[in-house]
Structure 1
Amino acid sequence: MSKDFWHNAVQTVQNWLSPTVSSLSDVSTTTPSDISGNVGDVQEGSATKEANLTAEQQGSEQNAEQVEAACCPPPRWMPIAWNELGVSEIAGPETNPRVMEYHEASGFTWARAQNGETPRLDDSRSIDAWCSSFVTWVLKQAGYAKNKLADDPFRARMWHDSWPHGVNTGRPIYGCLGVQKSHVGFIVGHKEGDPNTLAMLGGNQSNTVKVSYYHKSKFKGFWVPDDYPHACCELNVYTGRAANGDGESTR
C-alpha cells in the first residue's frame, strides 16, 4: 500500500477515536494490522452511533404519536354504538328486548296508557322515544357510571341542559353527542362538500339505530364526557350510507 493510503487511514482513526497515532512520522512504524484494527473500531463505533440515533428518532416518533393520541384518542364508546347499527323497535304491543335494555339503562319508567290501552312500557309509541336511552346505554357500556351521565338521561335535551360531567366542545367532532331540542345521537362526520350537514349515528331515527344527516343549525350543542381529551379533534367526511334526517321521525 502507498504511504498516502496509510496517511488517510490514520486521519480517519484520529477523527473518530482518541488519537493512537500522534504524527505522520508514526505511519512508517504502524503496521497494516494495527490500522485495520483501528478502522474496524471506527466502523463499529459508527454503527453504534447510527443505531443510537435510529433508536432516538424512533423514540421521538413514538412520543409524537403518544402526544397525538393523548390529544384526541378514539372515543371508547363509538365501537359500542356502531355495533348496535340496525337495532329497531317493534310496532304494536311487542317490544324489542334490546330497546328495552336501553330504556332500563336510562331509568325510563314512563308506562302511561295511550288511546285507552293498558299502561305499559313500550318501544314504539311516541311517548316511549328511545334515542336518549340508546345514548345512555352506550356510555354505560363504555364504563361511565350513572353519576357521570346527564340528569334524567332518558330526555335528549338534558345532555345539553344538565350534564355536570359533560363538556361542550363548541364544535362537532367525531363521537361527540349532538344534542337537538328533542333528539340526541353521536356525530360521525359531515357530508362531502358540505361541512354544515352532519352525519349522526342515533337510536330511534325512523324507529331504528342508523346514520342520518342533519343540518348543523338544528343542534343546541356538541358534548363529550369531561374526561375525554378533545382539544385537537376534528370532523372528517362521512363516506357511508345515511338518510335525510330532516324527514325522519325521532318520536
Structure 2
Amino acid sequence: MIVQRLLNQIDIPGAQQLVADGSPGVRTIFKIQAFQRSIGIARPDGIIAPRSKTMTELMCRADAENSVHTQLALTNPAPTSADLGAPWIATAEREIGQKEVVGAKANPRIMEYHKASKHWAKDDSGKLDAWCGSFVAWVMLQHGLPTPKESYRALEWAQYGSKLKAPVYGAICVKSRSGGGHVAFAVGQSRDGKDYFVLGGNQNDEVNIKKYAATVWDAFVFPPGAVAGTSLPVYKGTAENAGRES
C-alpha cells in the first residue's frame, strides 16, 4: 500500500493511478516497471526491494513531489475509501443518520436524493417513494459519475457500469424484494464470507449500514470508468440485521 501511494505521487507518463489496497496486482507491477524504466533500469523486474535503487529513487522522487503526502504515506498506511478505489463511500458515510419524517413533512435531504434521480416524489415516506435508488444516484452525482436513466428504480442499477462476479469495496449491490428491489453499497463482509455489510438508503427508513446474507444479492456492479479494487474487507464495525426496505 505504501508503494502504491508513493507511485501515485509521481507523474509517470502513460501510467494509471493505482488503487492503494495493498494487493500487488498487474497494474501495480506495470507501474513499478514503468517507474524503473524512467530511472534508467534497463531490465525492469517490477520488484520493490529494501535498499534497492528502485525503492531509494521512489522515496526520493515522491518526497520531492510532495513531502507532506510522502510522510502520510509512510506513517498512515490505513486504507481510506479513496485508497480502496471508492471515494464515494466517504460521501455516503457522511449521510448516515438521514431518515424519513413521518407525516406530511419530508426530510429535505431525502428530497434532494429524489431530485438527483429525477423521481417525481413529493414525500419521503410513501409506499411509492422508496428512495434507495435515489440515494445511490445522489452519491454518484457528487463524484461526477453517470447514473441509469431511471436511477430511482433499484433494479435498473443491475445493468449499470461494469458487472462483477463478487462484490469489492464500494461496489453497488442489487437485489429483488417483494414489490420491487433494493440497491446499496458494499462496505464489508463477515469473516466467513456468508454475510455482506451494505451502506444504503431507505434501510429501515434511514441511511445506515445493515447486515445481509450474501446469497440474497442478485448483481454487483462498479461505476463506469472507475478502477475496482480487488477485495471486500472484513467489516469491523457494528450493524444490525437487514430490515424493511420499502
- The TM-score by the shorter chain falls in which range? 0.5 to 0.7
Instruction: Give the alignment of 1:1-251 within 5 angstroms.
Output: 56-59=54-57, 73-110=84-121, 121-144=122-145, 148-160=146-158, 162-163=159-160, 166-181=161-176, 182-191=181-190, 193-230=191-228, 232-245=229-242, 248-251=243-246
In 2, distance between residues paired with 1:184 and 1:141?
17
Counterpart of 2:95, as a letter, is E
Q: CA deviation at 1:194?
A: 2.6
In 2, distance between residues paired with 1:213 and 1:143?
28
Answer yes or no: is the 8 Å Cα contact 1:73–1:229 preserved in 2. no
Summarize deviations over 1:152-210 as a string: whole Å, max 9, x none: 000000000x32xx00111111110011111001000012x331200000001001100
Q: CA deviation at 1:55?
A: 5.4
Q: Percent identity?
A: 34
Q: CA deviation at 1:228?
A: 1.4
Q: CA deviation at 1:151?
A: 2.4
Answer yes or no: is the 8 Å Cα contact 2:99–2:207 preserved in 1. yes
Runs of 4+ in 1 over 4 A off after TM superposition: 60-63
Q: CA deviation at 1:76?
A: 1.8
Runs of 5+ in structure 1 lacking a partner? 1-52, 111-120
The structure with more radius of gyration: 1
* TM-score of the superposed pair, with normalisation by structure 2: 0.65
Flag the structure with higher helix content: 1
Counterpart of 2:196, as a letter, is L
In 1, distance between residues paired with 2:182 and 2:104?
24
Q: CA deviation at 1:82?
A: 0.6
Answer yes or no: is the 8 Å Cα contact 2:85–2:227 preserved in 1. no
In 2, distance between residues paired with 1:190 and 1:200?
9
Alpha carbons of structure 1 residues 216 and 103: separation in structure 2 relative to 1, 3 Å:
same
Answer yes or no: is the 8 Å Cα contact 1:171–1:222 preserved in 2. yes
How many residue pairs get aligned? The number is: 173
Q: CA deviation at 1:212?
A: 0.3
Answer yes or no: is the 8 Å Cα contact 2:197–2:235 preserved in 1. yes
Tell me the secondary structure at the aligned position of residue 194 of structure 1. Answer: coil
In 2, distance between residues paired with 1:90 and 1:170?
37
* TM-score of the superposed pair, with normalisation by structure 1: 0.64
Tell me the secondary structure at the aligned position of residue 138 of structure 2. Answer: helix
Runs of 5+ in structure 2 lacking a partner? 1-50, 63-72, 74-79
Answer yes or no: is the 8 Å Cα contact 1:89–1:95 preserved in 2. yes
Tell me the secondary structure at the aligned position of residue 57 of structure 1. Answer: helix
